[in-house]
Amino acid sequence: MKPGRPNLPGNATAPVVGERALIAGIRARLAPAPPWLLLGIGDDAAVVKPERGALEILTTDALVESIHFDRRFSSPEDIGWKSLAVNLSDIAAMPRLALLSLALPADISSAEVHALVDGFLALAVDARVTLAGGNVTRSPGPLMVDVTVSGFARARHVLTRGGARAGDDLYVTGSVGAGAAGLGWLRDGREAANGVELEGIKACVLRHRRPEPRVRVGALLGRNRAATACMDTSDGLADAARQIAQASGVGATIDAASLPIPSAAREYFRRAGHDPIGAALAGGDDYELLFAAPRRSRGRLATVVRQSRGVPITRIGQLTSERHLVIVRDGVPEPLPEGFVHF
């Protein structure tokens, strides 16, 4: 990890105050480096011993202020947590290390930056991910948090979007629509929530602020070879179903009644004038896993369910040889909505 490039010469403003102090502070709070991390924060690059006999999985994703979060609704800790969560959600393998690249606006305090890093490290500890490097620079505009995660998997355990077959069942972890509804509840404020059960709203808000990436379930699905294809639902369940279907050369039918939409989320969508099913399908911001599994893998899947520490896994439909994307509501098939919808 290192301070950013120098500013443009002639740029009137100073570099981020305390860049080096910030990095020293982060370094001081890290657990001792694992034996495979030969060189971590403090040099230009991290030096890592690859996991023997495994493939490396690499992913990168950024959170940008006012595109992906609003500092009025998410604390610095929330933002740090989520910046790692959205990456872990993409990896569907055992994550091992992360690189953290921060672009800091002038109005962010050093305490806020440390809080952001604390949120990042809280999830990193949970997920056994080591912060191995990164970069700190200034931003003339929004706060940006760009994270790269590296993990590993045996070749025969790698899960991709492709690989599903017609006849496979479609499953989703956790719930659908809570993240989008959570931000909606935050934005619309207390009055909009009159008469709705507070616990339900809180769960939605927590989902928006601190999504729990399904790292364990993803790794278990791979390790047990229980799924044929897998993708996270961060762009919405409808989009994930479309991507898996396209990459696998199949179609999909989803049963609306089976969708695990929390009641507080349904209520939010209803009050906002939206069809709850359509909004939940299109919503995104959930970071659940959508995966396909053939019937003959149900035994393996049962093993995954047993080991997944209470994360619900719900069968919501099936892949079909006809390459259409369909949602069945009250027995009536309709076209699946197009990905993400703004509401």
Site for a second copy in 183-222 (CB under 8 A): 183-184, 187
List the x/- string, 283-322, binding to a second copy by CB under 8 A. xxx-------------------------------------
Report the distance separating Cα 227 and Cα 229, nearest Å: 6
Q: What's the min distance (Å) between Cβ of 78 and a second copy? A: 13
Q: Which amino acid is at 298?
A: R
Which H or E element spans position 202? Answer: helix 198-209
Position 248 contacts a second copy (CB under 8 A)? no
Position 33 contacts a second copy (CB under 8 A)? no
Position 7 contacts a second copy (CB under 8 A)? yes
Position 44 contacts a second copy (CB under 8 A)? yes
Binders of a second copy in range 47-106 (CB under 8 A): 47-51, 54-70, 86, 90-93, 97, 99, 101, 103
Beta strands of 72-142 (E only): which ranges?
Answer: 94-105, 130-139
Position 134 contacts a second copy (CB under 8 A)? yes
- What does each C-alpha distance from 311 to 46, 213, 215 come to in angstroms? 34, 11, 11
Q: What's the min distance (Å) between Cβ of 166 and a second copy? A: 21
Q: Token pair for residue 124?
A: 């990193």
Position 328 contacts a second copy (CB under 8 A)? no
CB 167 within 8 A of CB 319: yes
- Name, in order, each residue with C-beta under 8 angstroms of 179's C-beta and a sequence gap of 6 or more: 204, 207, 208, 211, 283, 284, 285, 286, 287
Q: What's the min distance (Å) between Cβ of 219 and a second copy? A: 13
Position 135 contacts a second copy (CB under 8 A)? yes
Q: Token pair for residue 50?
A: 């690859």
Q: Which amino acid is at 17?
A: V
Position 160 contacts a second copy (CB under 8 A)? yes
Report the distance separating Cα 282 and Cα 336, nearest Å: 9
CB closer to a second copy out of 111 and 155: 155
